[in-house]
Amino acid sequence: MADYFLSTPGNTDLTADPIEIAAKNILGINYLYPYQRLVIANTLDKVDQIVILPTGAGKSLCFQLAAHFLEGLTLVIVPLLSLLNDHVRRLEQLKSAIGVLKGGQQQAVRTMLYEKIRTRKVRIVFATPEVILLKDVLRCLKSLHISHLVFDEAHCVSEWGESFRPAYLAMSDIVKTFCLSLVTAFTATASPPVIKRIQDILFNTRCPQVVADLPDRPNIFYKTIPVLSKAKVLTELCLQEKKPLVVFSRSRTGAEQYARLLCRRLTQHKTFFYHAGLNKAERKSIEQWFFASDSGILVSTSAYGMGVDKSNIRTIIHVDVPPSVEAYLQESGRAGRDGKPARAFILFSIQDINFTDKLKNNFHRQRFIRLLYNVCLKQICRRQALLKLLGYDAEYCGGCDVCSKDVIKEPEGEKSILAFFKHWNRRFSLRQSIQVLKGESNYEFRQKHYSRFRGFGILAEWEKDDINEALHNLCEADKLGIPKRGFFKHRIKII
């Protein structure tokens, strides 16, 4: 440790803590948490690690600080450009010499970076897994001294490696190719099966030490809401809940559609969508806008937020059930990084239950079902359910709808809609049903005619599109039906 200490310029007090001095002088950090000190010490002692620390615990600081004590390069593999850009932004603010390897770079830029690495002007390089596999990049990196290979947000190895990011599966070969003496994988959440997948893919026959802290965020209040119309409930939550606010959707199409819906309905709030399909300029512009915003709404896929350090997000809404407990805690953990109270919601419907049939990979299907069943369908403490899925026990709950006795047990409007159709079974078509439930019609004589029916206008506060969505979901749940044959064809019936 004395060698590390003496390598820090300006230090003469041999009783001082070299890591604390470096943290203050280099990164402006006055205090390190015990787990941070342990991870850094293990790194300097060349111990392989899988580090599982909750969001906001300062995982990135561990490899950033250790890089200044290691002789060679620290190469950090990140899954998303938004995360890469966030690392670069924060370190540039601290005037740290860093490098970036990503797609679309000119060869001259990379050649200049390699020279800076050789002359020790750059100690940390951030890269995506795909760019590392390029032949020219691989050849040049092999000629450099890489002391530490870091995988940030390592749960993505399991989440994406076997689906749309096959480059992650090749990272085991990269470890062997570079003959690396030190590998560390960082993540905020990982259940035992995911830890095993990380170990199998990234560490192979190596035996990493697992450093884990309870992944609980006590300042986040968890709530799940069964819905018939996600559009309606999402609109109400975005209107009522504190901003900045992030809405996570399962798909790019969903993110765009919900963002446009909120733009139409909540004209007083700025709303943008964000996903990997945007070009570089669009992503950068939206990232900068949301980072500076105190009242914005961002509708995104998982492409936004992983590790991005916007501290004052107050609300997270998952308009679709996330693919796993790891994904949910990662994304909900974007809220309240400043330690102040925050809220996280999951909206679920029959669409999410039926989504399991679309998951062909059994590993991913089981993880989705475990989250859906334990956190959404069972009426037990949400925090305990989340932590139990990760292999932990919660001693107390910092706040959830179950513990505060604020559980919504059935979707809004379901009882009223079913009672209406029980009374008027096979009386109305889908279009007519929407008009009667809404309490309106395009023609005056229909208005007078429909108004005689019991239940006319019981969903007057709903948008017609939301009523349509609710009726389709009740049909999908086999509570209503629309016959295609017979005398009453196309008229809604109770099943």
Is the confidence at residue 461, as pLDDT, over 90?
Answer: yes
Matching fold, domains 2-212 and 414-494: no
Is pTM beyond 0.85? Reply is no
DSSP-derived secondary structure for 390-409: TT---SS-S-BTTTTT----
493 pLDDT band (50/70/90 cuts)? very high
**Residue 157 in this model has a pLDDT that exceeds 90:** no
pLDDT the model gives residue 304: 76
Report DSSP letters for 211-226, one per residue: EE-----TTEEEEEEE
All structural domains of the chain with their residue ranges: 2-212, 220-389, 414-494
CA dist 46 and 327 (Å) reads 30
Q: Under 8 Å CB-to-CB from 238, ≥6 apart: which residues?
A: 245, 247, 262, 266, 269, 297, 317
Q: For residue 11, what are the contacts with CB-CB under 8 A and spacing of at least 6?
A: 5, 18, 21
Q: pLDDT tens digits for 39-64? A: 998 898 899 999 998 777 788 889 98
Q: What is the pLDDT of residue 327?
A: 85
Backbone angles phi, psi at 80, to 5 degrees: -130, 145
User: If one looks up domain 414-494 in CATH, what number appears?
Assistant: 1.10.10.10
Q: Give the pLDDT mean for 143-162.
A: 82
CATH topology of domain 2-212: Rossmann fold (3.40.50)
Q: What is the rounded CA–CA span in Å between residue 107 and residue 336?
A: 41
Least confident span in 101-105, 110-114, 446-450: 446-450
pLDDT tens for each residue of 312-349: 999 999 999 999 888 898 889 889 988 899 999 999 99
pLDDT digits (tens, 9 = 90+) for 280-306: 889 889 988 999 999 999 999 987 765
Taking residues 352-361, report their average pLDDT. 90
Both tokens assigned to 60: 């990135």
Which range is most confident: 98-102, 171-175, 345-349, 489-493?
Answer: 345-349
Task: Kindly state the average pLDDT of the residues 264-288.
Answer: 90
Query: Does residue 450 carry a pLDDT above 70?
Result: no
**Banded pLDDT at 3 (limits 50, 70, 90):** very low
> What is the reported pLDDT for 11?
45
**What pLDDT score was predicted for residue 212?**
84
pLDDT digits (tens, 9 = 90+) for 360-372: 878 788 889 999 9
Looking at the chain, the whole-number percentage of residues with pLDDT higher than 70 is: 92
Find out whether the peptide bond into 244 is cis, omega within 30 degrees of 0: yes
| CATH 3.40.50.300 corresponds to the domain 220-389 | yes
Q: Tell me, what's the pLDDT at 194?
A: 84
Question: Average pLDDT over the chain, rounded to whole?
Answer: 86
